[in-house]
Amino acid sequence: MACKPGIVTRIGMYPSLNGDVRSQCTDMPEIDSVATTHYTAPTDTLHHFADRPCAMLSEFELISRFFTRPAHSAILGIGDDCALLAASAGTQLAISTDMLVSGIHFFADTPPEPLGHKSLAVNLSDLAAMGAAPRAFTLALSLPSPSADWLTSFSAGLFALADRHHCELIGGDTTRGPLNICITVFGEVPANKALRRDQAQAGDDIWVSGTLGDARLALEALQGKILIAPDTLAPALARLYTPTPRVALGIALRDIAHSAIDLSDGLKGDITHIMNRSQLGACIMMDELPPGTLLSSQPRAYQYHCMLSGGDDYELCFTAPPSRRAAVEAVARQTDTPLTCIGYMTQQPGLRLIDANGKETYLADTSFDHFATP
């Protein structure tokens, strides 16, 4: 269906939570047996906060109460015009920014705790793809109005993940406006050890971590495109709401992989970034793709749709020479992360999808693009 301004489609039996509605803006085949319901999404997110106003909370009280913590690795954290951060000797800084916008990346009534988690997780996933260790982050937060309850839950989800990865909040900005969350993350990687998109080599194996497609399946269930019993949907919802950034895996691959990328917009589109930057092609063996737990019970054609163009997996896709397969398998054991070889890089340009019979096949679905999508 084509995205219509102010309209969100999903099945009524599911909680809204953190549906990444980016994918609603893509023309996708409908599943005829599913009846969908529509409601008009609010033009802003005031309903998040109207029932729990905190009128006396000023901007600086908000920062102090919910986001100020003692600096640890930073020389200077929150409270001055700039934060001060020193890179460790022999390292390079890896820096990434991601923005999550209400109504584009998540439903307007998303609960704040998983939203806080995901806001940072998508940035940490970028560091993982570069083989960088997290150091610090900044947060720019636009709110329609301050709510103590909302901010307490949001910051709890944010800091739980930050503490797990020893990544401290060192600054940012707050303003009044539609709900918008923008995080810039800083990491470190030993000089000349970063995993880059432009270093793949012809003949490299292509690997992916974990499983693919459950996040997309959960989103389409929330949108009403596919009917799944709520009591069985939980594992897929967890993949959508609270993705796991593969930081330890990225660090372990520094001296093994040639190139890497995190899977945020769908495998089909993301592997193309490695192909283009490395000036190579790729061959994907479709029957080797690892479907998510819930997705594996769906028809195979639907599995391909979710795994290749779904997005929101936040797994790592990386290339490594065949001679390092034993090392890759050792990393899988070391980090307790399933890794699957799904294809190889080719000198011949273009992406080839090979089915179970060894024949090249075509998939019309494309990965998400904010501006190419109608």
- pLDDT single digits (tens) 110-150: 889 999 999 999 999 999 999 999 999 999 999 988 888 98
Average pLDDT, stretch 317-346? 98
The CA dihedral of 293, 296, 297, 300, to the nearest 10 degrees, is 160
Quickly count: other Cβ atoms within 10 Å of residue 269's Cβ.
Answer: 19
Using one digit for the tens of pLDDT, what is the confidence trace for 1-29? 333 223 232 333 333 333 333 333 333 33
> What are the CA-CA distances from residue 195 to residues 88, 229, 257, 336, 339 (Å)?
19, 40, 7, 20, 17
Decide which of 17 and 276 is more confident. 276
Task: Give the pLDDT of residue 106.
Answer: 87
pLDDT for 213 beyond 80: yes
CA distance 209 to 261: 11
Q: Tokens at residue 344, please?
A: 């190889």
Q: What is the structure's pLDDT at 48?
A: 42
Pairwise CA distance, residues 314 & 29, whole Å:
24
Q: Specify which residues 230 forms β-bridges with.
A: none
Give yes or no for residue 355 having a pLDDT over 70. Answer: yes
Average of per-residue pLDDT across 213-218: 96
CB 128 within 8 A of CB 243: no
Kindly state the tokens that stand for 2: 């084509």
**pLDDT top residue among 357 and 243:** 243
What's the rounded Cα separation, in Å, for the pair 304 and 21? 20
Residue 56 is predicted with a pLDDT of 58
- 152-211 pLDDT, tens per residue? 999 999 999 999 999 999 999 988 999 999 999 999 999 999 999 999 999 999 999 999
Average pLDDT value for the chain = 84
Instruction: Please give the residue that has the higher pLDDT: either 45 or 123.
Output: 123
| CA atoms of 138 and 183, how far apart (whole Å) | 6
Quick one: average pLDDT of 52-71? 68
- pLDDT the model gives residue 263: 97
Residue 323 has pLDDT above 50, yes or no: yes
DSSP β-bridge partners for residue 142? 175, 180
Mapped onto helix, strand or coil, the DSSP state of residue 216 is helix
Give backbone dihedrals phi and psi of 106, rounded to 5 degrees, phi first. Answer: -155, 155
Question: What is the rounded distance in angstroms from the CA atom of residue 328 to the CA atom of residue 322?
Answer: 10
Closest C-alpha to 241, from 224, 261, 222: 222
pLDDT in tens, 217-245: 999 999 999 999 988 999 999 999 999 99
Q: Give the pLDDT confidence score for residue 366 in this predicted structure.
A: 56
Helices (H), 180-287: 214-223, 230-241, 247-252, 267-278
With contact defined as beta carbons under 8 Å apart, do 266 and 314 qualify? no
pLDDT at 17: 34
Which pLDDT does position 250 carry in this prediction?
A: 98
Q: Which residue has the tokens 């970034």?
A: 273
pLDDT confidence band for 76 (50 / 70 / 90): confident
Residues 348-355, mean pLDDT to the nearest whole number: 95
CA 361 to CA 112: how far, in whole Å?
A: 42
CA distances from 309 to 98, 114, 258, 299 (A): 20, 23, 24, 16
**Tokens read off for 20:** 């990444």
